[in-house]
């Protein structure tokens, strides 16, 4: 914005509200967006990541939905407002007073109305843009082109949908921005004149698409407010913490028959050491790049180095002796309730003991939370016993056994991407009744739903965890 590359977003800042927006924890895409939509935190939803436990130890499934909770746009719909939802992470659209075009969780999720996808593709003159594929350096040009094309198409789709449905409330998600920051954070963090042209072009397309949708929505008439929000922040990925490795080192997780093979440890040490050799990174990165996302390469890598994923090593874990493990949410440590000798009292003692050890971990700043401390109430029968936030989220927790020690302080250059999530994202707001203001005090992602409901004259359910910030920052008339 300061360099003049994002004129529309800059115009919102110039005439409206700008504030940090604190995410929920874990600050991950699914729990964050579902918390935004429902006004409920992860504990009240029972959703802590993309996946959730499914049956036996070490088994998981993709989170299905935020139901039985309801999104705030469902409440608007019931009160007679027309609503539109474009690209929100859902498996399928559902009946609503308006339209739902889901995104992210499946390739061709059903829309509502059911015929809307085909009609929209006809109006666009092209197929609806799918989720971006996994990134490889060799595919950068094509990958960035797809990201930019997806954003541009969504701007056009938003215009078409607004003209047809004339919604009172509209939500549009640009998922590509998250994928870009994960992969290219190091380049995005440079001064504007040093940011690569393809990234500048991408962000210009985001700004333009937002402007197109905003103009189409306002053309319908009447007072209106535009909100630009992110579900979490972003920052540099500095280190990795292998939580199951830490549990193994401290005797909470146990393998049968050795399990943790010497060759995996040897190969990981070799890779870690070679990354420090001048020039080795330039050799290793394209090699690792070619090995990614190929079944044949994965089989070869496993044959040479051995299995490293938690899922792949699940059968080698001694579940009768293991008392704790990290899966399927990497920020979480779960008690092994499949260990019949683990009584409730012993579980409470282990939680206290693990927490004390993690807080005292000498090589990283580890914040440790029990879910009830964060959320007050926790639903579901398999929540994490503990949740970890490491080095302010600059250190990424991982569930695999790829490296021989729990903390990989110097992140190898051939690792995927250079960015990870942070707690504080962004909030911009402009429109009728919105004051021109800037605050450095973070608002909450949970505050957005009650703010929208209040601004649109709909009662805010007592169950929502946030509260409207409209009255705190000025009167909103729209």
Taking only the tens place, the pLDDT of each residue in 205-248 is: 999 999 999 999 999 988 899 999 999 999 999 999 999 999 99
Q: Spell out the residues 6+ positions from residue 163 whose beta carbon is closer than 8 angstroms to its own.
A: 216
Average pLDDT over residues 34-59: 92
Over residues 75-84, the mean pLDDT reads 96
- 339 and 228 together in one domain: no
Does a structural domain hold residue 128? Answer: yes
User: How confident is residue 293, by pLDDT bands cut at 50, 70 and 90?
Assistant: low
pLDDT at 278 over 80: no
pLDDT at 249 over 90: yes
Q: How confident is the model at residue 200 (pLDDT cuts 50, 70, 90)?
A: very high
Q: What share of the chain has pLDDT > 70, as a percent?
A: 88
301 within some domain: no
Q: Give yes or no: residues 443 and 391 share one domain.
A: no
Q: Which two tokens stand for residue 60?
A: 């998981």
Domain membership of residue 28 (yes or no) is yes
More confident residue, 267 or 364: 364
Structural domain ending residue among the three candidates 416, 439, 459: 416
Q: Is the pLDDT of residue 97 over 90?
A: yes
Q: What is the mean pLDDT of residues 15-41?
A: 96
For residue 103, what is the enclosing H or E element? strand 98-103
What pLDDT does residue 255 have? 93
**Residue 289 falls inside a structural domain:** no
Is the same domain home to 57 and 27?
A: yes
Q: Are 207 and 90 in the same domain?
A: yes
pLDDT at residue 297 is higher than 70: no
Q: Which has the closest alpha carbon to 423: 387, 399, 453?
A: 387
Count the domains in the chain.
2
Q: Kindly report, residue by residue over 168-189, the tens digit of the pLDDT.
A: 999 999 999 999 999 999 999 9
Domain boundary among 370, 398, 416: 416
Mean pLDDT of 250-269: 71
Strand partners, 429: 17, 227
Predicted local confidence at residue 67, as pLDDT: 81
Instruction: Give Rg (Cα) of the chain.
Output: 23
- Residue 311 phi/psi, 5-degree rounding, is -60, -40
161 shares a domain with 62: yes
326/456 same-domain check: no
Question: What token pair was written down for 2?
Answer: 């300061």
Are 86 and 109 found together in one domain? yes
Q: How far apart are CA 464 and CA 402, in angstroms?
A: 41
pLDDT at 417: 85
Quick check: is 47 in a domain? yes
Confidence of residue 476 (pLDDT cuts 50, 70, 90): low
- For residues 87 and 175, the answer to whether their CB atoms sit within 8 Å is yes
Are 210 and 246 contained in the same domain?
Answer: no
Q: Do residues 325 and 334 lie in contact, with contact meaning Cβ atoms separated by under 8 Å?
A: yes
The answer to which of 50-59, 251-260, 408-417 has the lowest mean pLDDT is 408-417
Residue 106: which pLDDT band, with cuts at 50, 70 and 90? confident
Q: Are strands 386-390 and 366-369 parallel, antiparallel or unpaired?
A: antiparallel
Residue 64: pLDDT above 60?
Answer: yes
pLDDT at 305: 42
Q: Is residue 387 in a domain? A: yes
CA distances from 184 to 6, 51, 199, 206 (A): 19, 25, 9, 16
Residue 251 lies inside a defined structural domain of this protein: yes
Does 198 lie in the same domain as 147?
A: yes
Same domain for 201 and 243, yes or no, is: no
Q: What is the largest CA-CA distance in the chain?
A: 70
Interatomic CA distance for residues 426 and 72, integer angstroms? 20
Please indicate, yes or no, if residue 272 is contained in any of the structural domains. no
Mean of the per-residue pLDDT values of the chain: 89
Q: What is the pLDDT of residue 372?
A: 95
Q: Which domain holds residue 145?
A: 7-235+422-473
- Quick check: 259 pLDDT over 90? no
Segment among 3-17, 52-66, 322-336 with least mean pLDDT: 52-66
Quick one: pLDDT at residue 144?
96
Separation in Å, CA 273 to CA 176, 404, 416? 34, 13, 18
Give the N- to C-terminal CA distance of the chain in Å, as an integer: 27
CA-to-CA distance for 92 and 51, rounded, in angstroms? 17
Say whether both 251 and 338 belong to one domain: yes
Q: The domain that contains 222 carries what CATH number? A: 3.40.720.10
Residues 136 and 196 in one domain: yes
- Residue 27's pLDDT band (cuts 50, 70, 90): very high
């Amino acid at each position: 914005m300061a360099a003049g590359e994002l004129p529309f977003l800059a115009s919102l800042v110039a005439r409206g509200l700008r504030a940090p927006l604190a995410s929920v924890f874990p600050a991950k895409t699914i729990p964050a967006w579902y918390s935004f939509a429902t006004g409920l935190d992860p504990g009240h939803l029972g959703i802590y990541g993309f996946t959730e436990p499914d049956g036996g130890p070490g088994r998981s499934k993709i989170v299905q939905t935020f139901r039985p909770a309801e999104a705030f746009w469902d409440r608007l719909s019931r009160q007679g407002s027309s609503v539109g939802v474009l690209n929100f992470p859902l498996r399928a659209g559902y009946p609503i007073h308006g339209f739902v075009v889901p995104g992210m969780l499946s390739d061709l999720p059903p829309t509502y109305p059911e015929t809307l996808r085909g009609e929209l593709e006809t109006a666009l003159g092209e197929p609806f843009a799918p989720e971006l594929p996994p990134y490889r350096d060799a595919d950068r040009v094509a990958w960035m082109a797809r990201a930019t094309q997806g954003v541009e198409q969504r701007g056009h789709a938003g215009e078409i949908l607004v003209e047809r449905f004339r919604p009172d409330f509209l939500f549009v998600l640009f998922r590509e921005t998250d994928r870009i920051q994960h992969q290219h954070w190091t380049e995005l963090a440079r001064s504007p004149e040093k940011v690569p042209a393809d990234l500048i072009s991408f962000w210009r397309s985001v700004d333009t698409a937002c402007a197109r949708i905003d103009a189409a929505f306002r053309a319908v008439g009447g007072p209106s407010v535009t909100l630009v929000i992110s579900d979490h922040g972003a920052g540099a990925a500095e280190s990795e913490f292998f939580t199951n490795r830490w549990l193994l080192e401290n005797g909470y997780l146990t393998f049968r028959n050795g399990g943790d093979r010497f060759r995996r440890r040897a190969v990981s040490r070799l890779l870690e050491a070679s990354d420090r050799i001048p020039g080795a990174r330039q050799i290793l990165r394209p090699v690792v790049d070619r090995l990614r996302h190929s079944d044949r390469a994965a089989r070869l890598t496993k044959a040479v180095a051995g299995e490293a994923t938690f899922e792949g090593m699940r059968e080698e874990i001694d579940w009768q002796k293991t008392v704790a493990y990290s899966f399927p949410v990497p920020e979480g440590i779960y008690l092994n309730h499949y260990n019949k000798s683990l009584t409730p009292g012993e579980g409470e003692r282990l939680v206290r003991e693990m927490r004390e050890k993690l807080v005292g971990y000498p090589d990283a700043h580890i914040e440790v939370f029990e879910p009830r401390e964060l959320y007050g109430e926790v639903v579901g029968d398999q929540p994490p016993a503990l949740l970890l936030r490491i080095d302010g989220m600059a250190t990424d927790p991982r569930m695999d056994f790829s490296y021989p020690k729990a903390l990989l302080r110097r992140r190898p250059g051939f690792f995927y991407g250079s960015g990870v999530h942070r707690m504080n994202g962004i909030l911009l707001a402009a429109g009728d009744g919105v004051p021109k203001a800037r605050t450095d005090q973070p608002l909450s992602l949970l505050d957005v739903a009650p703010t929208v409901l209040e601004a649109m004259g709909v009662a805010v359910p007592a169950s929502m965890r946030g509260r409207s910030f409209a009255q705190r920052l000025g009167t909103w008339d729209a």
